Amino acid sequence: MLPRFVVYLLTLTFIAALLAGSVNLLAGLAGLVSIGHAGIAAAGAYGVAWAAVHDVGLPAQLGVAAALTLAVSVVYALTTMRTTGIVFLMITLALGMTVFGLALKLSSVTGGQNGLTGIRRPEAVDEWWQFYFFTAALYGVCLLVLGVVARSPFGLTLRGVRESPSRMTSLGYSVTAAKFVAVVISGVFAGSAGVLLAWNSEFMSPSVASFSRSALAVVVVILGGIGTLLGPLVGAGIVVAGEYWLSSYVERWQTVLGAVFILVVLFAPRGVVGTIAAWTRRSRKEGS
Amino acid sequence: MSLDELALQALNGLSFGALLFLLASGFTLVFGLMKIVNLAHGAFYLVGGYVGIATFTATRSFLAAILAGAATAAVFGLASERLLLRRVRGQELPEVLLTVGIALVIADGCLAVFGGNPRSLPIPGLLAGSVQLGGFAYPSYRLFVIVLAAVVGVVLYVVQHRTRVGALIRAGVDDREIAEAMGINVPRVFTAMFVFGGALAGLAGVVAAGLLTLRPGADTDILLFALVVVVIGGLGSLQGAAVGSVLIGLVDAFSKVWVPELSYFAVFAPMAIVLMFRPAGLFSRSRA
């Protein structure tokens, strides 16, 4: 049996991996890197938190979270669907910061700096180990769906949009509509991660929407391997383990993280999973 | 709202807009030439501001503080460009990801060296008082910031359009390959521009230290404003940055008075509107 602390870290890993997976869906397939996905996660998180504080039942809590996530995702999608690359990245960054600002300033709803307390997990998953299995199971389901989306005709459409938007247009696809749908689907995963986040800490503060959380999701994707199914999980494992174990030895964990990130971007742009996959492919070729 | 109050808020908006222009001009010039979205620009601003405060405390000279702050940020710019960004020249995504890594490291370094308490610059002698304007007194320092930004803006414009250095830069922007074929050392022009952009960020940091407070997280806060300004004005356009800065400065000042809970959100609204109708910004020369 695993010690409680390890189980807690694994729970955090699955949640971080889910958020990173939603970023990876856009970055890996469509080549759209979002540095503002914590804003969508925050919509789910604040939705469930706000409803919980106002003493409504579980279905209503999930309803509020879903509605808010969908609304914020649609705003993200509408403002970014005609952009690519750098401009997409900048707008998502600005959107994420805007959500952060709302969480901070709209204190009559969000509790401002003090946050929201009094959130309770659903009774069925109230115990820490129950919540762990619930998170793991939900992540498993999401992973399956993400894999299906990547292999689906829609996933291929997104690859086409990434490789050659003009060719996709001339083939009769609407590039703008494909991007819109992709951002909204990705938002659903990010919002789910947000709900898990709120239930995990049973407390909500603006930091859930902060720039560093959005940036961390991108760091996780790049570390693990952009465009790979398991990359976000591996990246999240590295980051969570690093944060909790390394930070007890090294005071400046964020500096280490930044430096590792720089090295990965420079020397292993395919990330851990992508690099290992390339190795095995090469050795297989040499073997045959 | 009386006429005096209106004028007061307008001046508040203009002085904040002036600060934004100092920051956004460096950001947009770097993008215009090198197509790099420098997300470490806020970190350059922060480190410049902190060094400026330290220098002022030691020497009691505002000029020394400005020079030291700008020089420090310029050195960080030089190191980032020469050691890191140069290795991935022309690859959009790795470039911007590297700047995220650089921002993480610098921000954490600032926390380590300067601590987590908010710091600001004691306003130096001559600028410390206030000026009587009609029915109210207005801080001289804020007026100084407006004048400084106007001077910097005019100098940048004249250099860009009337001098040999400006011609080199415009040649690099318009057609890099032809410029290189004509014997211009484009990589050196790039390095110089990145260093200069860093220096402008450092200058903005020192000036901001007398207007706002510097603390951990101030780098990403101000970066959001710079992003919104350049998205509105059009990436790479100096005139766009000027118009965007004034607009956002005014929106920020008046929304803080009229709708304080939505003040952060109000800044985002003009950006969304501009994006919907002119995705490339108001003054962009490039195609969207």
In chain A, which residues have their Cβ closer than 8 Å to the Cβ of B279? 82-83, 87
The model carries a pTM of 0.88
Range of the domain at B265: 3-277
First-to-last alpha carbon distance for chain B, in angstroms, is 41
Tokens of residue B89, six digits: 């020249």
Q: Is residue B175 part of a domain?
A: yes
Rounded to whole angstroms, what are the CA distances from B221 to A56, A94, B213?
35, 10, 12
Give rounded-to-5 percent helix, strand, coil for chain A: 80, 0, 15
Task: Note the pLDDT tens digit of each residue in A208-218.
Answer: 888 888 988 99
Tell me the shortest Cα–Cα distance from B94 to chain A, in angstroms: 6
pLDDT band at residue A288 under the 50/70/90 scheme? low
Quick check: B283 and B234 in contact, CB under 8 A? yes
Write down the ipTM of this complex.
0.84
In this complex, which of A86, A215, A222 lies closest to B37 when CB atoms are compared? A86
Model pLDDT, residue B288: 37
Tokens of residue A244, six digits: 């909790």
In this complex, which of B98, B217, B265 lies closest to A101 when CB atoms are compared? B265
What percent of chain A stands above pLDDT 90? 50
Model pLDDT, residue B287: 42
Q: Is residue B49 part of a domain?
A: yes
Which of A88-97, A228-237, A252-261, B168-177 tops mean pLDDT?
A228-237
Q: Is residue B240 part of a domain?
A: yes
Q: Is residue B251 part of a domain?
A: yes
Q: Is residue B156 part of a domain?
A: yes
Could you tell me which residue, A113 or A60, shows the higher pLDDT?
A60
Indicate whether A151 pLDDT > 60: yes
Cβ of A35 and B39 within 8 Å?
yes
Tokens of residue A77, six digits: 């999608």
Residue pLDDT tens, chain B, 288 long? 788 888 889 999 999 999 999 999 999 999 888 888 899 999 999 999 999 999 999 998 899 999 999 999 999 999 999 999 989 888 888 898 899 999 999 999 999 999 889 998 888 777 888 888 877 888 899 999 999 999 999 999 999 889 988 888 888 888 888 888 888 888 888 899 999 999 999 999 999 998 888 998 889 889 888 988 988 888 888 899 999 999 999 999 998 888 887 777 788 777 877 876 777 777 765 543
**Distance separating alpha carbons of residues A249 and A268, to the nearest angstrom:** 26
According to DSSP, the residues that pair with B131 across neighbouring strands are B138
Q: Is residue B200 part of a domain?
A: yes
Quick check: A270 and B102 in contact, CB under 8 A? no
Model pLDDT, residue B242: 93
Average pLDDT of the segment spanning A116-130: 84
Cβ of A89 and B96 within 8 Å?
yes
In chain B, which residues have their Cβ closer than 8 Å to the Cβ of A108? 261
In chain B, which residues have their Cβ closer than 8 Å to the Cβ of A259? 101, 105
| Radius of gyration, alpha carbons of chain A | 19
Q: Is residue B140 part of a domain?
A: yes
Model pLDDT, residue A287: 66
| Radius of gyration, alpha carbons of chain B | 19
Longest dimension (CA), chain A: 66
Question: Mapping DSSP to helix (H, G, I), strand (E, B) and coil, where does residue A271 land?
Answer: helix
Task: List the single residue in A with minimal CA-CA distance to B266.
Answer: A98
Task: Note the pLDDT tens digit of each residue in A33-69.
Answer: 999 999 999 999 999 999 888 888 888 989 999 999 9
Model pLDDT, residue B276: 67
Cβ of B104 and A82 within 8 Å?
no
Q: Where are the beta strands (DSSP E) in B55-175?
A: 130-133, 136-139
* Domain CATH for B35: 1.10.3470
Tell me the shortest Cα–Cα distance from A26 to chain B, in angstroms: 14
In chain A, which residues have their Cβ closer than 8 Å to the Cβ of B105? 254-255, 258-259, 262
Q: Which of A255, A263, A264 to mutate to test the interface with B (most CBs of B within 10 A)?
A: A255
**Distance separating alpha carbons of residues A97 and A84, to the nearest angstrom:** 19
Quick check: B238 and B28 in contact, CB under 8 A? yes
Residues counted in chain B = 288
Q: How many domains does chain B contain in total?
A: 1
Residue B211 phi/psi, 5° resolution?
A: -110, -40
Task: List the single residue in B with minimal CA-CA distance to A101.
Answer: B264
Contact of B258 with chain A, judged by CB distance below 8 Å, is answered with: no
Nearest to B200 by CA among B58, B49, B5: B49
Sequence-distant (≥ 6) Cβ neighbours of residue A220 within 8 angstroms? A16, A17, A19, A20, A23, A232, A235, A236, A238, A239
Q: Is residue B284 part of a domain?
A: no
In this complex, which of B108, B224, B271 lies closest to A255 when CB atoms are compared? B108
Question: Mapping DSSP to helix (H, G, I), strand (E, B) and coil, where does residue B132 land?
Answer: strand
